Amino acid sequence: WLGAGRLAAQSGYQPAPENLRSREAFQDSRFGMFIHWGIYSMLGDGEWAMTNKNIDCREYAKLAGGFYPSKFDAKAWVQAAKDAGMKYICITSRHHDGFSMFGTRYSDYNIVEATPYGRDVVRELAKECRKQGIRLHFYYSLLDWTREDYYPLGTTGQGTGRTAHGDWNDYLGFMNNQLTELLTGYGPVGAVWFDGWWDKADADWQLDKIYATIHRLQPGCLVGNNHHREPFPGEDFQAFEQDLPGQNTAGHSAGQTISALPLETCATMNGTWGYSITDRNYKSVAALIHLLVNAAGRNANLLLNVGPQPDGEIPQASLERLREVGRWMKTYGETVYGTRAGEIAPGAWGVSTRKGDRLFVHVLRRDGDTLSLPLTGGVVRSAVRFADRAEVPFSVATDSVSLDLSGIPADEIDSVIELSVRR
Ligand code: FHN
399 has which bridge partners? Answer: none
Q: What integer pLDDT is reported at residue 8 of this predicted model? A: 53
What's the 400 CA to ligand 1 centre distance in angstroms?
41
Quick check: CB of 241 below 6 Å from ligand 1? yes
Q: What integer pLDDT is reported at residue 262 of this predicted model? A: 98
Listing DSSP states for 265-308 in one string gives EEE-SSS-SS-BSS---PPPHHHHHHHHHHHHTTTEEEEEEE--
Please choose, from the candidates 371, 368, 381, 366, the residue with its C-alpha nearest in 3D space to the C-alpha of residue 344. 371
The answer to whether 197 and 4 are in contact (CB under 8 A) is no
What's the 195 CA to ligand 1 centre distance in angstroms?
7
Quick check: CB of 273 below 6 Å from ligand 1? yes
**CATH class of this structure's domain 4-339:** alpha beta
Q: What integer pLDDT is reported at residue 1 of this predicted model? A: 29
Averaged pLDDT, 360-389: 96
Distances (CA, A) of 146 to 133, 166, 201: 35, 12, 19
Coil, helix or strand at residue 23: helix
Percent of the chain, pLDDT > 70? 97
Averaged pLDDT, 280-287: 98
Instruction: Locate the domains of the chain by residue range.
Output: 4-339, 342-422
Quick check: CB of 243 below 6 Å from ligand 1? no
Q: Which band of pLDDT confidence, cut at 50, 70 and 90, is reported for residue 62?
A: very high
Q: What integer pLDDT is reported at residue 423 of this predicted model? A: 85
The answer to whether 196 and 210 are in contact (CB under 8 A) is no
Q: Which ligand 1 atom sits nearest the alpha carbon of residue 95?
A: 6
Residue 405 has pLDDT above 60, yes or no: yes
Residue 385 has pLDDT above 70, yes or no: yes
Residue 3 has pLDDT above 50, yes or no: no
Quick check: CB of 279 below 6 Å from ligand 1? no
pLDDT digit string, tens, across residues 71-81: 999 999 999 99
The answer to whether 307 and 48 are in contact (CB under 8 A) is no
Identify the weakest region by mean pLDDT among 9-13, 61-65, 190-194, 282-286: 9-13
Q: 342-422 has which CATH code?
A: 2.60.40.1180
Q: Which ligand 1 atom sits nearest the alpha carbon of residue 274?
A: 4
Contacts 24+ apart (CB under 8 A), 145-151: 145/50, 145/51, 145/57, 145/96, 145/97, 145/98, 146/57, 146/60, 146/61, 146/97, 146/98, 146/99, 146/109, 147/98, 147/107, 147/171, 147/174, 149/174, 150/98
Percent of the chain, pLDDT > 90? 92
- The ipTM estimated for the assembled molecules is 0.99
pLDDT digit string, tens, across residues 105-140: 999 999 999 999 999 999 999 999 999 999 999 999
Residue 6 has pLDDT above 60, yes or no: no
**What rounded mean pLDDT belongs to the chain?**
95
Quick check: CB of 295 below 6 Å from ligand 1? no
Smallest CA separation from ligand 1 atom 10, residue: 195
Residue 179 has pLDDT above 80, yes or no: yes
What gap in Å lies between CA 328 and CA 399, rounded to an integer? 32
Quick check: CB of 199 below 6 Å from ligand 1? no
Q: Which of 145, 199, 241 to mutate to test the pocket of ligand 1 (most atoms within 8 A of CB)?
A: 241
Q: What integer pLDDT is reported at residue 251 of this predicted model? A: 66
Q: Which ligand 1 atom sits nearest the alpha carbon of residue 305?
A: 8
Sequence-distant (≥ 6) Cβ neighbours of residue 267 within 8 angstroms:
241, 242, 291, 302, 303, 304, 305
pLDDT digit string, tens, across residues 239-259: 999 999 988 877 666 678 899
Residue 10 has pLDDT above 80, yes or no: no
What's the 109 CA to ligand 1 centre distance in angstroms?
21
Quick check: CB of 264 below 6 Å from ligand 1? no
Q: What integer pLDDT is reported at residue 248 of this predicted model? A: 81
Quick check: CB of 140 below 6 Å from ligand 1? no
Quick check: CB of 10 below 6 Å from ligand 1? no
Residue 92, class by beta-carbon neighbours within 10 Å (0-12 exposed, 13-18 middle, 19+ buried)? buried
pLDDT digit string, tens, across residues 287-344: 999 999 999 999 999 999 999 999 999 999 999 999 999 999 999 999 999 999 999 9
What gap in Å lies between CA 215 and CA 65, rounded to an integer? 36
pLDDT digit string, tens, across residues 341-362: 999 999 999 999 999 999 999 9
Q: What integer pLDDT is reported at residue 137 of this predicted model? A: 99
Residue 13 has pLDDT above 70, yes or no: yes
Quick check: CB of 226 below 6 Å from ligand 1? yes
Q: Which ligand 1 atom sits nearest the alpha carbon of residue 239?
A: 9
Q: What integer pLDDT is reported at residue 7 of this predicted model? A: 43
What's the 331 CA to ligand 1 centre distance in angstroms?
32
Give the type of residue at 190.
G
